[in-house]
A and B are shown apart, each in its own frame.
Chain A
């Protein structure tokens, strides 16, 4: 266990130093989601908000509704980005050195995912402050469910990040995966339109993104003051997804390494 923790910590520190060497990276973490958010805010204005079909969206709390969506999304998106960054290790040859070492592969992937999470948590805090400052009156929050949701969402995000890491690492067309995963995630996980309103086909797509569940749960505990009992379904799904993802990750790690040792090529797909 100790080597695992050591490797985990080292990986986190390394990734942090490697990718956050320049302050400019914070632009991508704050400015882009912020610009995106404002754009979406204005593009909502072209509609007659009073006639929306979701009860908890009103002209008053629409900003908060959107902010929460964006907050969750940038949480998950930073993990997509970290996975994308990690795929550069293959190009620069450092991945081969990681494989040369006896280190636990899962520790490396986890370290990479968790390191990007620190920054995301920071972003999340800023977003939350924004929410509170702007519209404290629309918030109906119970503390315990809120904390529970936060932890489950974090666990899901980490698992999702690790899963993407393992995928991106071993696929040659990581850019392609990026276009497939990132934009649909924004559309189908309910950042703008709640998935409850989706037709069946869109719902079918939305269920594959962990972000879908995260956004819904966060909105419910923040905007409608759901109790622990009311979010029990989410808790079960969230923990289930995390477990499934971890199982998948360990299978991928094993398969990839044995595949690589046979073909001399990391690319699986």
Chain B
């Protein structure tokens, strides 16, 4: 692997990020985390005074709604940020007119994308940690977290998110649209991936769709390791499933991306 591309992309992304996104970007992102938590908390506290439905604890194995929803929402936030960065990286280059010069350079896609993802992982992790701290007063309970298992779950999930963003990225490059495709996908993921309620509530056909999106299982895995302290060995099946599914996404994403790049470049010239 030529680490120069990786390093170069990372440095470029960091520089752009640092210059173009001042502090308010960070504040904005953490605010989004806060709002999600706040919205759920207010429902729980004021409207229903903590009265959960009977089947909630049966399905999830916990009556702790707040921890459930906070972990779900923050993971969702991570998916969104990854997609925003990785998927949009190429189309941004296309729009700013730098795609052509990028293509001229002997350029390795995988490293390019990994570079932009790593930078984003760093900044998003910081945002998430701040959001988690904000969530403490709302009553999130991480006392049973298995940090080792969580770290593995986190890395596996990153791979899953990467796969999803590759597919989204090729759609964006093909349609040359970011706004509609990304937000539709985000709204859909929020619905089906078990972010704020268990997927078991969904109708059967939606659950089938949810199962083939790696995010669903990733959210589950993160939740299990953080909240019920399950070790990674107990979750091996789930890990394997995510890895397999995400690989399929990455492969499809890369193939499509390559095709779309060519189409996109033709469109510039045309």
Contacts and interface: CB of A to CB of B under 8 A. Distances in A.
Interface of A: 24-25, 27-28, 31-32, 35-36, 38-39, 42-49, 51-54, 57, 173, 175-176, 179-180, 183-184, 186-187, 192-194, 197-199, 202
A39 B47 contact: no
A252 B31 CA distance: 28
B148 interface: no
B54 interface: yes
A202 B184 contact: no
Given A45-B201, A47-B44, A186-B39, 12 more contacts: A27-B180, A35-B187, A39-B190, A42-B191, A47-B51, A51-B49, A183-B39, A186-B35, A187-B42, A192-B43, A193-B47, A198-B46
A53 B46 CA distance: 8
Contacts of B24: 173, 176
Contacts of B46: 53, 193, 197-199
A46 B35 contact: no
Q: What does DSSP make chain A's interface, helix, strand, loop or mixed?
A: helix
B98 interface: no
A198 B48 CA distance: 12
A52 B46 CA distance: 9
30 contacts: A24-B177, A28-B180, A28-B183, A31-B184, A35-B184, A35-B191, A42-B191, A43-B40, A43-B43, A44-B43, A46-B52, A46-B65, A46-B201, A47-B47, A47-B53, A47-B56, A48-B52, A51-B48, A51-B49, A51-B51, A54-B47, A176-B24, A183-B31, A183-B32, A183-B35, A184-B35, A187-B35, A193-B43, A193-B47, A198-B46
Interface in B20-68: 24, 27-28, 31-32, 35, 38-40, 42-44, 46-49, 51-54, 56, 65
B196 A179 contact: no
Contacts of B198: 46
A48 B47 contact: no
A35 B190 contact: yes
B246 to A, nearest CB: 24
Given A51-B49, A52-B48, A38 B191 contact: yes
Contacts of A36: 187, 190
B28 A175 contact: yes
Interface size class of B (residues with CB under 8 A): 35 or more
Contacts of B102: none
B49 A43 contact: no
Q: Top 10 A-B pairs ranked by shortest CB distance?
A: A35-B187, A51-B51, A48-B51, A183-B35, A47-B48, A197-B46, A179-B28, A43-B196, A39-B191, A46-B56
A35 B180 CA distance: 14
Contacts of A49: 48, 53
A176 B184 CA distance: 21
Nearest to A44: B43
A194 B187 contact: no
Nearest to B47: A193
B54 to A, nearest CB: 7
Contacts of A44: 43
Contacts, number: 106
Nearest to A186: B39
Contact of B39 (A46, A176, A187, A194): A187
A180 B35 CA distance: 10
A42 B201 contact: yes
A202 B40 CA distance: 14
A27 B39 contact: no
A32 B190 CA distance: 11
B241 interface: no
A197 B201 contact: no
B202 interface: yes
A187 B198 CA distance: 22
B197 A192 contact: no
Contacts of B32: 179, 183
Given A43-B197, A198-B46, A35 B188 contact: yes
A49 B54 CA distance: 11
B24 to A, nearest CB: 5
Nearest to A25: B180
Given A45-B197, A51-B48, A193 B28 contact: no
A52 to B, nearest CB: 6
A193 B49 CA distance: 12
B138 to A, nearest CB: 13
Contacts of A43: 40, 43, 196-197
